[in-house]
Every structure is written in structure tokens, then in C-alpha cells.
Amino acid sequence: MAKDVMCEVNSCKFWSNGNKCSASSISIVSHHDGNQARNSKETDCHTFESKI
């Protein structure tokens, strides 16, 4: 499992210094038919929560 999860979305409440994700778990889903993503554009981070 990855030790550090990098994230550049600083509007997320889990974003922390050094562009790291501080969430205790990460949920990433495919929005491609059949759940078989072929590239990063076909995925979404469902862990995101707005800081506001």
C-alpha cells in the first residue's frame, strides 16, 4: 500500500502541507462503463470533501 498519497487539490479538507492527503482511507471510482478505467481521466476521487 502506498505510504504517501499525493494531492494538489488544496480546497479539500484532507489536503495537507507538501501536497499530501491526510485522509485515513481513499476512495477512487471509475466513471467508465463496466468500471474498467483506461486512464486517469476516467476516474474520480470520492474521498474529496470541501474545506468550506
23, 2 Cβ separation under 8 angstroms: no
Which tens digits make up the pLDDT trace of 21-44?
A: 999 999 999 987 777 899 999 999
Q: Does the model's pTM come out above 0.75? A: yes
Which tens digits make up the pLDDT trace of 41-50?
A: 999 999 999 9
Give the integer Cα–Cα distance in Å for 37 and 21: 22
- In which band, very low, low, confident or very high, does the pLDDT at 2 lie, cut at 50, 70 and 90? confident
Q: Where are the domains of the chain?
A: 1-52
Give the integer Cα–Cα distance in Å for 43 and 35: 9
